[in-house]
Structure 1
Amino acid sequence: MSVTQLKSNLIAAAESESDLLAVLKSDAGLYEKTEACRKLAVVGGKSAVEPLIALLGDEKLSHMARYGLETNPDSSVDKSLVEALGALKGKQLMGVIASLGVRRDANAVEALAGFLKDADSEIVQTAARSLGRIGGLAAIEALKGALEGSTGASRIAICEGLLRCAETAGAKGDNRTAKGVYDSLREVEAPHQVRAGALLGAIHSRKKNGMKVLLEALHGDDFAMAAAAARAAQELQGEDVSKALAEELPKLSADKQVLVAQTLGDRGDKAGLGGLLALARSGDRSARLAAIRAIPQLGDPAAVDALKELTKDSDGVISRSAQRSINALTGVADEDSSDTGSEG
């Protein structure tokens, strides 16, 4: 049996913490020590902390050492990871910052906050995301403080960290904190995905009162935010939501009427039928078509008579679309599905 085979057999047989630590302290190869770290993630306790911490600066074993530490139940892990921050650089430093986020160590917030102004954007991003995973008021304040003056990828990561903090607060029932974070992010200069996420959170964190924020976004100048509001509407429960959306239809521009008509169709709530029928009868052609095509999704046979009137419309695209919606409601197969809504 070769030396390599012998070492492989030894690591395969090593299952106890003491055996695995012996492998780490030996002259075993990279594979054997990697496997020891992996197994210590399952069986490691207090005795494993110091040997694994000692490997954090090792370019080849740092990742697996952190893997072994992240699930270790001993409380000394968190303090040891924080203490290791000052001795590491580059990818090894980012790895430990990430591990503190995985462990959600609230006592690490102050140390992590210090990296939010680091010259290395990747360090800033990692710290921001870890603070987001940890959550809490201290993390929120640190992230808010770093947001001012931030740019590029670092700014996005800080916003993401704040969004995660808000999600955590909301999940714990602290809607006041969640709303505060969401509302602040709605006002900052940030990519639309950040503001959209903040809008969704602002709506959901307000529960029944979220419709006011949703409708404000629908009437706003930013179509991306209107689209985000429409997505939020699909997730809200209750006929009152569909009724409110239907009542807003005549007050909206054509592009937003299309958006809301599609949303009402996706909701499948009969409370939206009146508004869709009214829109189907007159107005911008694209909006009328969106309404006609949404109506069958509500599954209400009461719409058939109104749709029959629309089959007599002078606009051939409208009349054929109305017939298709009748067919969909009555279970009749379409013979022609070529209309695209682009005809003159």
Structure 2
Amino acid sequence: MALPATFALNNGMRVPAVGLGTFQVESDNSKVKDAVKLALKLGYRHIDGAHAYGNEKEIGEAIKESGIPRKEIFVTSKLAQTWHDAKDVERALDVSLENLELEYGKSSGPGLGPHGDGVDLYLMHFPHAYKAGENNTTIRHPSGNGKPVIDYELSRRYTETWQAMEKLVDSGKARSIGLANFNVLKTKRILEVARIIPAVNQVEIHPYFPQRELSEFSSKHGILLVAHQPLGGRPIPSVRGHADKPFPTDDPMIIEIAAKCGMTPAQVCLSWAVQRGIPVIPKSTQEEHMKQNMQLKRLPDDLFEAVDTLSTKRGPLRFLDPSRHIGFDIFDEENDQPVLESAV
């Protein structure tokens, strides 16, 4: 049985099983446009971006120049942490739509609404908020340490941010809305107020960090998990956890399974996730890797089980950890952080 090519969202839409991630493609985003154009040429139909990545203009240009009809491409963007105030949410998406050249109300082609294209999926990038300066840029600590100034009040009011995002669906500017980097505790709070159930929660998932509790909870409530960093990934140094640890693709068992199946270690990790029912968003600028990341296949039951239990044997390993950068743990399942009014 072949692996699924798409997965259903709770609103009837479908998201491709494999998408292209665009975060940190290059430090200056110089290769993003070429990478997106190449990915679309190779058959990718999900492009995952975000305002915070600073490359939506390049993504928009690539989509436009690809010649592929807009309706065939699933476009994701994300609300940055400086736009969490409910009054700013719609403007944040408007800026992304302008950058992506998907301006609602200015498209002459077929779109999701009566006047424009919008995005297929819009996510709250993180549950916490930053103090915003001019043009909603991040205010940094005057100490010069590069850390953002946290807006503690808004960081606790992410449910209000969600309610503002629901209006984006009403307007047609976003076909679906969802979360990113939310744990069980914070997702429960969203569900307490939600008129629209999140379509997805995009979180770190790979063989070293399978997120089983979150997966079971999300499935129960009709929320599809989507895996970012499906190969382990390299977050920027300020939010990188376990920088000294190897990635799953370097694991001897993964390498052995890859050899048995005629696959690369990356293909094993990606296939395992898709086989679990989780879409993946690997990133690459190299054509051969892009091709390989699309060429996934079902693992035999015994080998799938070996990958599936890898984290149990070695212990879970999360590579994305912003706690040192912001001063509290957004993944705390006991307390809805931030609890205090300042970083610890």
Q: Which has the higher contact order (CA 8 A, sep 6+)?
A: 2
Asked if TM exceeds 0.5, the reply is no
TM-score (norm 1): 0.25
Say which structure is richer in strand.
Answer: 2
TM-score (norm 2): 0.25
